[in-house]
Amino acid sequence: MTNKMWGGRFKSGPSAIMEEINASIDYDQRLFNQDIDGSIAHASMLGQTGILTKTDVKKIISGLEEIRKEIDTGKFKFSRQLEDIHLNIENRLKEKIGDAAGRLHTARSRNDQVATDFKLYIRDTIDHLSEQISQLQYALAQKALSFADTVMPGYTHLQSAQPVTFGHHCLAYVEMLARDKSRLQDARKRLNECPLGAAALAGTSFPIDRTHTAKALGFDKPTANSLDSVADRDFVLEALSTASISAIHLSRLAEELVIWSSAEFNFVTLSDKFTTGSSIMPQKRNPDAAELIRAKIGRIIGAFNGLATVMKGLPLAYSKDMQEDKEMAFDALDNFSLALAAMTGMIKDLVPNEEKLHQAAGGGFSTATDLADWLVRVLNMPFRQAHHVTGAIVAKAESQNITLDDLSLSDMQAIEPKITKDVFSVLSVENSVKSRVSYGGTAPTQVRKIAKKWIKSLEKTGIAG
């Protein structure tokens, strides 16, 4: 070998290179619990159907439980020569119980075994992520309730548009996360069919009971086509695509936190727990956690793209290419989980700067729409004309460098004589948000109602926040 680095590593030649590219045990050992659960269900079914003797089944199951303990307590020796988690466990079972171990693989293949293990893993992960999403929703809904009256600028094009409440802004994310959770639940429903018993690809001639194994593993039913059963990785792709969409939401919120916590905006203060100081600039408090959450989407969407690319050209049924599904999925879903935990912590600790938010909410003539609406409602002006008149009034205020509610009545009347002093009742930011009582609007009364509804329904699901 000319390359010293690799030459050293592969000194035993081609077989070592093969082991390096072929073995998945370094990462698929994470599936040990699912693998053992799957094997126990399979063995007990083989016993029920009389394919194996009860004595063999007993030995197999107690051997597998011992192996679970060995792995749990770090006593198990994983071997790369044995390729993957399935062969590592089977080999250890043979050491423990002898020949009966060899009967476990009756009417089964690693192809349906790995599909079953990974489905179980993704299903557990979906449940865990859903709970984490609920916790983030809970933190956001609590913030929304605490700051239901706090006005802030609402933006379009990142230009101050109309005042909204801080609570309303928080609740926008609660809605996004609700959709993410429902996408996860939807994916869970679809994945919940058991591939075990499809064997290598064609099914088996043994009189197995696939409904038995499906039920034992908490699946709704067995999968209906043996080729599809071992060729399918939709369930991983769906979990990754849902995680990608949700990570987009986290990334947008993270971006807002980065902007809002800057000295220029100063809308919120992030806690010390989720920020770092600069080694050279003592005044700085960098929003590192928010920035990293913003960045996580890169690898999550990368994993989706990666696996989609692996799968797109594969002929039916199983190909070894599919072994590449795991590392990407583990990495992406671990990081998504971490991002959810970090965001939840940041939201819980976040303190809005109410004074600054109020001041900014009044900037940019943000109540101009309220003025136009007043002209429509009180003077019965067509909206297009009201828009025009309001434009002229805004220009006047701008020329005097003052806000709309500081402009004199006579200045307004010079543009539209029918305007009365009643107009001032809609020009303050407080009155502006209070008036937005339409369903889904930003009025504090609405925000409080919706925040309470979320808090109640999330508490019912057992998450305490």
CB 246 within 8 A of CB 318: no
Residues 201-260 that bind ligand ARG (CB under 6 A): none
CB 313 within 8 A of CB 196: no
Q: Which stretch binds ligand ARG (CB under 6 A): 4-12, 60-68, 319-327, 423-431?
A: 319-327
**CA dist 142 → 139, 177, 347 (Å):** 5, 15, 10
Which residues are bridge partners to 269 per DSSP? 351
Supply the minimum distance, in Å, between the C-beta of residue 114 and ligand ARG.
Answer: 4
Please tell me the distance from the alpha carbon of residue 288 to that of residue 279, in angstroms, as a whole number: 14
What does the CA dihedral 203, 209, 213, 215 come to, rounded to 10 degrees?
130
114 part of the interface to ligand ARG, by CB under 6 A: yes
Q: Which stretch binds ligand ARG (CB under 6 A): 108-116, 150-158, 234-242, 257-265?
A: 108-116
Please tell me the distance from the alpha carbon of residue 93 to that of residue 67, in angstroms, as a whole number: 8
Query: Using N-to-C axis directions, what is the helix angle for 288-311 and 325-349, rounded to 10°?
Result: 160
How many CA atoms lie less than 13 Å away from 101 in the CB half-sphere?
19
Q: Which is nearer to ligand ARG, 216 or 322 (CB)?
A: 322
**CA dist 256 → 66, 150, 266 (Å):** 50, 17, 12
Which residue among 46, 322, 386, 426 contacts ligand ARG (CB under 6 A)?
A: 322
Determine the size of the site formed for ligand ARG (CB under 6 A): 10
Supply the minimum distance, in Å, between the C-beta of residue 109 and ligand ARG.
Answer: 7
Please tell me the distance from the alpha carbon of residue 230 to that of residue 211, in angstroms, as a whole number: 17
Residues in the chain: 465
Q: Which is nearer to ligand ARG, 329 or 426 (CB)?
A: 329
Nearest Cα residue to 153 out of 363, 459, 442: 363
| Catalytic hit among 62, 278, 408, 425 | 278
Q: Which is nearer to ligand ARG, 121 or 454 (CB)?
A: 121
Q: What is the largest CA-CA distance in the chain?
A: 100
Query: Using N-to-C axis directions, what is the helix angle for 110-146 and 444-460, rounded to 10°?
Result: 140
110 part of the interface to ligand ARG, by CB under 6 A: yes
Residues 66-85 that bind ligand ARG (CB under 6 A): 84
Supply the minimum distance, in Å, between the C-beta of residue 28 and ligand ARG.
Answer: 6
| Catalytic hit among 157, 279, 399, 438 | 157
Site string for ligand ARG, 264-303 (x = CB under 6 A): ----------------------------------------
Please tell me the distance from the alpha carbon of residue 383 to that of residue 388, in angstroms, as a whole number: 9
Known active-site residue 157 = yes
CB 366 within 8 A of CB 162: yes
CB 89 within 8 A of CB 110: no
Supply the minimum distance, in Å, between the C-beta of residue 156 and ligand ARG.
Answer: 48
Q: Which stretch binds ligand ARG (CB under 6 A): 124-132, 315-323, 349-357, 442-450?
A: 315-323
Q: Which is nearer to ligand ARG, 83 or 238 (CB)?
A: 83
Supply the minimum distance, in Å, between the C-beta of residue 73 and ligand ARG.
Answer: 24
Which residue among 34, 111, 251, 442 contacts ligand ARG (CB under 6 A)?
A: 111
Site string for ligand ARG, 133-162 (x = CB under 6 A): ------------------------------
Q: Which is nearer to ligand ARG, 236 or 361 (CB)?
A: 236
Q: How far apart are the first and last CA of the chain?
A: 57
Q: Phi/psi class of residue 380: alpha, beta or left (left: φ > 0; alpha: ψ in -120 to 50)? A: left
Q: Which is nearer to ligand ARG, 24 or 135 (CB)?
A: 24
Nearest Cα residue to 124 out of 261, 32, 244: 32
Q: Phi/psi class of residue 72: alpha, beta or left (left: φ > 0; alpha: ψ in -120 to 50)? A: alpha
Q: Which stretch binds ligand ARG (CB under 6 A): 52-60, 109-117, 177-185, 265-273?
A: 109-117
∠ at Cα 239 (237, 243), nearest 5°?
115
Q: Which is nearer to ligand ARG, 90 or 256 (CB)?
A: 90
Q: Which is nearer to ligand ARG, 24 or 39 (CB)?
A: 24
Supply the minimum distance, in Å, between the C-beta of residue 236 and ligand ARG.
Answer: 11
Q: Which is nearer to ligand ARG, 200 or 248 (CB)?
A: 200
Supply the minimum distance, in Å, between the C-beta of residue 225 and ligand ARG.
Answer: 18
Please tell me the distance from the alpha carbon of residue 404 to that of residue 226, in angstroms, as a whole number: 70
CB 350 within 8 A of CB 271: yes
Which residue among 44, 137, 323, 442 contacts ligand ARG (CB under 6 A)?
A: 323
Is cis: bond before 317, omega within 30 of 0? yes
Contact residues: ligand ARG, CB under 6 A: 24, 28, 84, 110-111, 114, 318, 320, 322-323
Active-site residues, by number, are 157, 278
